[in-house]
Structure 1
Amino acid sequence: MIIICVMRVHIPDEIFLGICLPRSCGHGDAIKVTLSTIELQDERFGKHHLPRRIFLLDDKYLSGEYSYWKDPRVYIMIAVVGSVVMMTIVGTIYELWLISATRSKESNCKDSTSDQEMSSIHTEEMDSSKISECNGNHIAYSQGSLCVSDKILSSRMEKNITMASEAMSLTKKGVDEGIERLALPKSEVDLVLKPQRESFISKLLLCFSAVTNAKSICSLSVGADTIAPIHGLRFFSLLWVILAHTCLVAFQFSDNKTFRTRAERDFLYQTLSSGTYSVDTFFFISGLLVSFLYFRTVSKYDVHQLTFTSGGFKAKGIQFIGMVIYRFLRLTPPYMFILGLVEVTMKYCHDHGSLEPVATDYINCPKYWWRNVLYINTMFPLEQRCMSWSWYLANDTQFYIVGTIILIIAVNYFWLAAGMVVVFMLSAWSTTAVITIYTEHTPTTQDPFAHYDELYDKPWTRIGPYLIGMCLGWILFKTKCKANIKNWVLCIGWMLSMTALSLIVYSLYFFEFGPAASAVYVSLSHSAWALALAWIVFVCATGNGGFKLETFGADGEDDIHYAE
């Protein structure tokens, strides 16, 4: 057992020392050892004694009592990781088996088919007892030892089967029209056009398959019904977040403090100090997707059938609860796993490491973990938070709840929902401005996280970009991502957008704000940032962004337009 002591020595400048001593040493012993060591060095080298004073700033006892293997949380996390790994292995093996079986059946179909046999097959002679599945996704017709897949049928019997092949990839209306033209009995049509349903166990295993997930993660295809420009915004914003955090954290712990002072005078350093606006980009994207996907869903499906109600307030309440529960179940399990991992890791570092952890998660997480589960941790003081860096997830969930209420109301009472958006925006701006004046906050390059607890991570400061994203999502849905914008409007829009983004990022290099200007800048800059991004996304999503880059992927994908 050892004790870590941090002391300050005046001779006459300050010198900070850190020493390791046996646990048996006390506070006075640490000072005595330091004094005697300095005196011995002075006598040895014959130097003059300098006036000195030693202060014990902090001491830390490393008990080493905490052990991973005595913490039940560790065993829970090991069980979770083991279960996921096991499901991944089983799911991957299962999908590989399905792929192998499908290829084997397709090979058997091709080997048993000849041109002469194909010419003797007629659709009107099909019997439901002879229709079988040649593979998991395509129809097949079997007659004795003959097995014919839909691909071969469509190529050999265009006049009789073409409509059936096309109907498989059409909407429900197209399928119905194909059925009428084929004049087949309903039972036979279901067998021909519908693949076998996968069981729940099969779907569950495929969710964990490394093959399926690797294809999804590494896929570069963009669906025709997605908003392509948000992927570019995500990528550049993520790089911006990494760059800003890397540099700012390095400056905080580096020994050469004067280098940061010199760097802050550089114009390009404003890109780092203004990196906080990259988070507003993610809030904007989140609101955009929630709104766009919600309106698209309610336009395609009957909400009353989904909620098993006849409508009214009860249906809207069930819809709201269902959306919130879905988000909670999707985010909370991995979130809680990371929280447990941080807690046990910080406990071990505090009990065994010589350096004191910057965050007090080893104290706060056992006490206040429930605030993270409920996503209300940003409502409490910073010193009482577990994983303070998870503030974004808490704010985004709070915005999602508010946004869901607005969206559900907007379906039947659009102007009421629009009024709610205006009220929330004005309330957020005014609240932020009042707090800025009350705390005498002045935005500066030197300290972009000043008044972190009062302004930086509070929901009323950040909700503006989310609501603006929701408004853009509704506009894109109503316009079906199509708009004819005149060139002079495009020029003015791009100039205003780029000017706003540049002023937000680099204005602190040229101006020093007073109280009133600081209140305006802090309260409106986040929303102004989102408005500028909204223009970029709108013109690019509607095909007015500039040069066109065609994507090579699945059939039916739209072209993606990028800003020049």
Structure 2
Amino acid sequence: MVLVRGPLLYRLTLWAVVTAAYSGNVTERCMQDTKAFLWELHQDSPSPYAALMYDAFGKIGSDVKGGNTNRPGSLQECLSVQGPSFSGQYCQVFLKQDPVQYFVGICVPDSCDEDEVQTMVVYEMFQKGHTSLIPPFPSILVAQSTQGIFMTHCLSNTATPDLSAVTCLFVCCAMVAVPLAATVLIAIIKWQLKREVSPGVESSSLSTNPNMYGTLMHNGSPSVDINQCTLQQLNQVSETDDNHREDSEENSWVYSCLQAFSIQRSSQGVLSWTGTRASYSSLNGVRILSLLWIICGHTIQLSAWNNLDNDKRWKETVDRNPLYVFAFSGPVYLAVDTFLLLGGLLSAKSLLGSIQKSDDKLSICLVVSYLFKRFKRVQPLHLFIICLAIGFFSVVHRGTFWFIAEDEILNCKKYWWSNLLLVNNLLTITDICAPWTWYLSLDFQFYATTPLLVYLYRLNKGLLVAIAAVLLVLSSVTSAVLTAFLHLPVHQPTTLAYKSYFQYYYNKPYTRYGPYLIGILSGIFMTTKKNNLIRLQWQAALGWFTSLSVMAVLVGLAYVLREVPAQASAPHALYQGLHRPLWALTVAWIVLACEEGYGGFVDRLLSLSLWVPLSNISFACYLIHPILIIIYNGKQETPIHYTDINFFYLFIGHTALTLVVGYVLTVLVEKPYLFLKGKNTKYQN
């Protein structure tokens, strides 16, 4: 955009400001500061502050046809402005020129609020016959040359957290401070104990410190020669022994709590390269590869929606090309179905193991304990992430592309309770706090059905098969009917079907139960089977050929059917109803084949010891990686340009940082609550 200087620009823009002021929507101070800025613009040698303000305005760039429509301007340059009686304030004007929606960054005096800025912008933009400071795209680039304004948003220079943000920051700090304090206390206690029991110390010193934290002496009282004691002395010794025992139990419980929260305890085994014997080794590889797939998809998704300056080029080269299967395309969401399958398999295996330890009885108390352990496993870190989203996003300095973070703050402040109750997947996508956590709610809801299916299995295997078949058919038919009735695509759309896709289909239990159900059935079978299912080489070869072929077809059809159908489409409905359970069956076959010795190279790959420590921190990595991506994207001052190499490096960077932060959160937040036990429960080191 060429700077049009001289009396004409000044008179017309000043006329717009004065007109807006006389309308009663602009204060005197805002009007005077804006007039001073506009006056400087028409001078032969404008003041440096005015030049900076104008330079901070967003300008029309190249490759508008390729998607470079946003004009962010310069946030930092605007904030550096110091005028005669005001500072620079960065605002974003959100506009629409059919079919393009975009925003323009402008720099205005900080004496004007959002409503005043929008009023002046409206009057300034729609005056005929003058050059606007926010010019529309010319008709040669965009079909509609008339601008429509639908919002103005100003970024404050300083972050001012409210009570909810302060509370959340306090909770996050407390959840981190407690393990750190426990770590220091445990280190001090062990140092003292080492001094107490070190060689050369007289035995009398032990008797003066009986049962230090429940570890030194069994009975907690000094030895006594009964033959030399009177009855009164014996009673005194007995009373003393009881008192010491009570102190011992109290000290032991306090010590066990400190140990549970200490890093010395929570970090044990996290970075171990050897898994437990009771687990299926191939699951670690399946879990981590699926997680990397999701991180890769989110890296591109969250950038492509708001940050790219060539998003149309990206759609042409990436969104429609099967060679980019690990980027933003339908198959990315199959990784979630893999997680659901693994969740069902491990939940059935865990419950059957608990039943075996409880004298082969499936009691109400066992079910309650089973569900509570899952709740305790998920919620501490889950709620920490929610508090982190509210608190940290509220205090960090905003960036030019801070839209998603702003939405997260508002949604989490309003709908945090749905995360606490694990029902946020039942809300609409626009109301979900931390949208990626819908999986935790869905997983827990499915997890609660495992005891019922295991009970049916123990009651009658035929009855379990019949009910499972009915549930599987209902889930598939529901998905197909919704897809046909609502004209849904086969995976996440970026069009007007977006809201319906999430509100009625994507994260709802009645459409996603198939993979989890198959996981439960697989877990029951693999835990209780007495003989291998695969006995001959040809069976293994046929199974592998069928499994890999089905996977390839499902991935390929996701591209063929990716468009939103204009009317009810049988292919879309059929694919939507079948692709998730079919994908789960193929992954279940891979796990079974690997466990029965027919995995070959795939088994060796999935069972690498490398996956074990990564698997130990995978839950924390899943929860934290979107926050890291949102912060990175939101703090950008210019759009991101998509190239394969740029986003490969971006994916590697996000992954590396996710692993580091995921390990820290696993040790400080997730693990301590798993180790923490009740006061009357004996603690095991």
2:309 is the alignment partner of 1:222:
no
2:85 is the alignment partner of 1:30:
no
RMSD, aligned CA: 4.3
Q: Pick closer, same or farther for the CA change 1:77–1:6 going to 2, 3 Å.
A: closer
1:294 matched residue in structure 2: 351
1:454 to 474, 485, 504: 504
Contact residue 264 and residue 445 of structure 1 kept, 8 A: no
How far, CA to CA, are the matches of 1:552 and 1:286 in structure 2? 21
Post-superposition offset of 1:15: 8.1
How far, CA to CA, are the matches of 2:271 and 2:344 in structure 1? 25
1:210 matched residue in structure 2: 263
2:471 is the alignment partner of 1:424:
yes
How far, CA to CA, are the matches of 1:14 and 1:220 in structure 2? 50
Post-superposition offset of 1:55: 3.7
Q: Pick closer, same or farther for the CA change 1:524–1:402 going to 2, 3 Å.
A: same
2:232 matched residue in structure 1: none
2:595 to 541, 545, 558: 541
Post-superposition offset of 1:455: 1.9
Counterparts of residues 374-393 of structure 1 (less than 5 Å): 374-393=421-440
1:268 matched residue in structure 2: 323
Any idea what SS the aligned residue of 1:224 has? coil
2:572 is the alignment partner of 1:518:
yes
Post-superposition offset of 1:520: 1.4
Q: List per-residue Cα deviations over 1:149-205 (Å, max 9, x = no partner).
A: xxxxxxxxxxxxxxxxxxxxxxxxxxxxxxxxxxxxxxxxxxxxxxx9993333322
2:294 matched residue in structure 1: 241
1:327 to 349, 371, 374: 374
1:90 matched residue in structure 2: 182
The aligned amino acid for 1:58 is M
Q: Pick closer, same or farther for the CA change 1:301–1:28 going to 2, 3 Å.
A: closer
Q: List per-residue Cα deviations over 1:335-386 (Å, max 9, x = no partner).
A: 2232223234455579x66656236333333332222222122222222322
1:178 matched residue in structure 2: none
Q: List per-residue Cα deviations over 1:62-110 (Å, max 9, x = no partner).
A: 5789733x515524642553354343343365268649968997999xx
1:179 matched residue in structure 2: none
Contact residue 5 and residue 56 of structure 1 kept, 8 A: no
Contact residue 480 and residue 573 of structure 2 kept, 8 A: yes
Contact residue 393 and residue 409 of structure 2 kept, 8 A: yes
Q: List per-residue Cα deviations over 1:455-513 (Å, max 9, x = no partner).
A: 22122222111111111111111126856621010100110111111111123445689
Q: Which runs of 5+ in 1 are unaligned?
A: 43-50, 109-135, 138-195, 305-314, 554-564
1:111 matched residue in structure 2: none
2:410 is the alignment partner of 1:357:
no
Contact residue 93 and residue 149 of structure 2 kept, 8 A: yes
Post-superposition offset of 1:242: 0.9
How far, CA to CA, are the matches of 1:15 and 1:367 in structure 2? 27
Q: List per-residue Cα deviations over 1:305-332 (Å, max 9, x = no partner).
A: xxxxxxxxxx733333332233223322
Counterparts of residues 8-407 of structure 1 (less than 5 Å): 8=95, 17-22=104-109, 23=112, 25-33=116-124, 39=130, 53-61=146-154, 67-68=160-161, 70-71=162-163, 74-75=166-167, 77-78=169-170, 81-82=173-174, 84-91=176-183, 94=186, 98=190, 199-253=252-306, 254-260=308-314, 261-272=316-327, 273=329, 274-302=331-359, 316-347=363-394, 357-358=403-404, 360-407=407-454
How far, CA to CA, are the matches of 2:343 and 2:558 in structure 1? 28
Post-superposition offset of 1:433: 1.0
Q: Pick closer, same or farther for the CA change 1:232–1:95 going to 2, 3 Å.
A: farther
How far, CA to CA, are the matches of 1:482 and 1:551 in structure 2? 23
Q: Pick closer, same or farther for the CA change 1:96–1:10 going to 2, 3 Å.
A: closer
How far, CA to CA, are the matches of 1:4 and 1:509 in structure 2? 39
Any idea what SS the aligned residue of 1:275 has? helix
Q: Pick closer, same or farther for the CA change 1:343–1:17 going to 2, 3 Å.
A: same
Post-superposition offset of 1:294: 1.3
TM-score between both structures, scaled by the size of structure 1 = 0.69
Contact residue 264 and residue 446 of structure 1 kept, 8 A: no
Deviates more, 1:266-275 or 1:480-489: 480-489
The aligned amino acid for 1:226 is S
Post-superposition offset of 1:245: 1.3
Q: Which runs of 5+ in 2 are unaligned?
A: 1-86, 134-143, 201-214, 217-248, 611-685
2:519 is the alignment partner of 1:465:
no
Contact residue 94 and residue 101 of structure 2 kept, 8 A: no
Any idea what SS the aligned residue of 1:218 has? coil
Q: List per-residue Cα deviations over 1:518-551 (Å, max 9, x = no partner).
A: 1111111111111001111112122232268699
Task: Indicate the structure whose relative CO is greater, using CA pairs within 8 Å and at least 6 residues apart.
Answer: 2
Post-superposition offset of 1:410: 2.9
How far, CA to CA, are the matches of 2:360 and 2:272 in structure 1? 32
Any idea what SS the aligned residue of 1:291 has? helix
Deviates more, 1:262-271 or 1:465-474: 262-271
Deviates more, 1:241-250 or 1:505-514: 505-514
TM-score between both structures, scaled by the size of structure 2 = 0.57
1:501 to 547, 551, 557: 551
Contact residue 375 and residue 397 of structure 1 kept, 8 A: yes
Contact residue 227 and residue 541 of structure 1 kept, 8 A: yes
Q: List per-residue Cα deviations over 1:10-65 (Å, max 9, x = no partner).
A: 79x998533233316353422445579994799xxxxxxxx975543311255789
Any idea what SS the aligned residue of 1:544 has? coil
Q: Pick closer, same or farther for the CA change 1:406–1:198 going to 2, 3 Å.
A: farther
Deviates more, 1:18-27 or 1:334-343: 18-27
Deviates more, 1:80-89 or 1:531-540: 80-89
Q: Pick closer, same or farther for the CA change 1:215–1:7 going to 2, 3 Å.
A: closer
Contact residue 351 and residue 370 of structure 2 kept, 8 A: no
Post-superposition offset of 1:220: 0.9
How far, CA to CA, are the matches of 1:366 and 1:26 in structure 2? 27
Deviates more, 1:261-270 or 1:374-383: 261-270
1:150 matched residue in structure 2: none
The aligned amino acid for 1:27 is Q
Post-superposition offset of 1:227: 1.0
Deviates more, 1:22-31 or 1:246-255: 22-31
How far, CA to CA, are the matches of 2:524 and 2:145 in structure 1? 70
2:66 matched residue in structure 1: none
How far, CA to CA, are the matches of 2:383 and 2:310 in structure 1? 38
Q: List per-residue Cα deviations over 1:264-308 (Å, max 9, x = no partner).
A: 34331244311110111111111111101211221232266xxxx
Contact residue 270 and residue 509 of structure 1 kept, 8 A: no
The aligned amino acid for 2:557 is S
1:438 matched residue in structure 2: 485
